[in-house]
Structure 1
Amino acid sequence: MIGCLCLHGFTGEPWEVEPIANYLFEKKRWLVYTPTLPGHGPNGQLKDITHEQWLYAAEVATEELLKRCDKVYVIGFSMGGMLACHIAAKYPVDKVVLLSAAAYYVNPTQLLHELKEAIKLRIRGQLQNDEHYQLYRQKILETPMSAVWQFMGAVKLIKPKLREIKAPTLIIQGELDEIVPKKSAQYLFERIQSEKKLLIFLKDSHHMICHGFDQIELIHHIEEFLEVEKIEKNAAVSMRKEDHNEVS
């Protein structure tokens, strides 16, 4: 059996990675875990949460999957991408997918703006009535600075571990990402020591990459990466919609 751990971002919840998680469960019938990180979720409180708790939650989920599955993949979005790096450096996971991974710091006010744009794609003009928007708006406006410092602490702790990652790694980021700069993806690609790694930029994607215009293409890249056993060694691919068919 194949297991897949999907990790959401800072102030977020599993909804952020839901399109990917649902696809892998429904189409592939994999065992998919999408845990809600401590302090997150509808009733979450980030005030007294530490980044060690986020790391521990990700580790517990990973250990459970490793017990139950022959292969384990880890997919992380934004801060979840950095947690996925921690997992890949510590555990014998088979492949890693990093989506809009925040190797550089997130600005919570920018995240609110980005969320608005993502939800507009889902509900077409009914933004103020959408429960996800209202939930995230409240969470971001009420996010304590102590939680922001914990996020920054997690990133600082994980960065030195990137060179310990040997599992095949796929890094995907939107070219229109207003939260995490493109240099974050480049930084991860350069530091991760896997001999099998791909770097892809999606032309029309913002930060909430799983809910954007490139969603179908995103899922295609992830599925292809997770299913293909042989990846060209040391390949760096900067892929755009208009020319992706030219890249093997």
Structure 2
Amino acid sequence: MIGCLFIHGFTGAPYEVEPLANYIKEKTDWLVKVPTLPGHGVTLSLKGHTYNEWVTYAEQELIALMEEVDEVYVIGFSMGGVIASYLAANYQVKKLVLLSAAVYYVNPKQLVLDCKEMIKDLLNGNINENELFNRYKKKMVETPLRSTIEFQKLVKKVKPYLKKLTLPVLIIQGECDGIVPVKSAHYLYKTIPSEEKKLKLLPFSKHHVCHGEDYEDLKEYVEKFLHESNTDLDLLTQES
């Protein structure tokens, strides 16, 4: 039996990956787990929590899942992609999917464009209908500076482990992401030594790729990758 572990992002919750997790549940008989990291969730309570807690909790969830299934696939979004990379470097994970994985943080150029869009909506009286504004206004208020520093520590800790990833890896990145720049995906692709790796860019997607305009393409990429045999993936990698 196959198990899938999904890991959400910094200041996030399972909703960030739920569309994809639910799709995999519907299409397979796999055991799918989408835990909530300490201090995270719809209501944030990050104060006092460290990156070690987030990693340890994800690690415990992986170990528990591995005891129930024959092989495990790990899918990480944003900070969850960083944690997923660490787990894949240290455990017998069969496949790894990185969605908007945050080894670099903040895309200044796209962030300026997003802010201009929010200002335009503010002046037109439509700010409450702006998706980005609604998604981030609460997070900005409820995220302690100390938690952001913990996130930065996590990225610094995990970067060296990227060079240990030899399993099949799929990297997916939105080209309109104002939080994680596209260079993050290119860095991952260049740094990860696996011979079985693929990079897919989503031209119209912002940070939350599972809720973006290219979700149907994302869903297809992930489904195909997870169902490919290692031999098929190797051939596809050589062709791309």
Name the structure 1 match of 2:185: 185
Alignment of 1:1-248 (within 5 A): 1-106=1-106, 128=128, 137-229=137-229, 230-232=232-234, 235=237
- Unpaired runs of 5+ residues, structure 1, are 118-125, 237-246
Q: Which amino acid aligns with 1:200?
A: K
Name the CA distance, whole Å, in 1 between partners of 2:89 and 2:74.
11
Calculate the TM-score normalised by the size of structure 1.
0.83
Alignment RMSD, CA only? 2.8
Query: Deviation at 1:225?
Result: 0.2
Query: Deviation at 1:42?
Result: 2.9
| 8 Å contact from structure 1 (residues 12, 40) kept in 2 | yes
SS, match of residue 104 in structure 2 = coil
Query: Deviation at 1:233?
Result: 5.9
| 8 Å contact from structure 1 (residues 11, 40) kept in 2 | yes
Count, aligned residues: 228
Name the structure 1 match of 2:123: none
Name the CA distance, whole Å, in 1 between partners of 2:127 and 2:92.
42
Name the CA distance, whole Å, in 2 between partners of 1:83 and 1:179.
17
| 8 Å contact from structure 1 (residues 8, 79) kept in 2 | yes
Query: Deviation at 1:232?
Result: 2.9
Change (3 A) 1:32 1:143: same
Name the structure 1 match of 2:121: none
Name the CA distance, whole Å, in 2 between partners of 1:140 and 1:233.
44
Query: Deviation at 1:195?
Result: 1.4
SS, match of residue 5 in structure 1 = strand
Name the CA distance, whole Å, in 2 between partners of 1:165 and 1:224.
20
Deviates more, 1:206-215 or 1:98-107: 98-107
Name the CA distance, whole Å, in 1 between partners of 2:30 and 2:127.
33
Query: Deviation at 1:139?
Result: 2.8
Moved over 4 A (4+): 126-130, 132-136
| 8 Å contact from structure 1 (residues 11, 140) kept in 2 | no
Query: Deviation at 1:49?
Result: 0.6
SS, match of residue 52 in structure 2 = helix
Amino-acid identity (%): 48
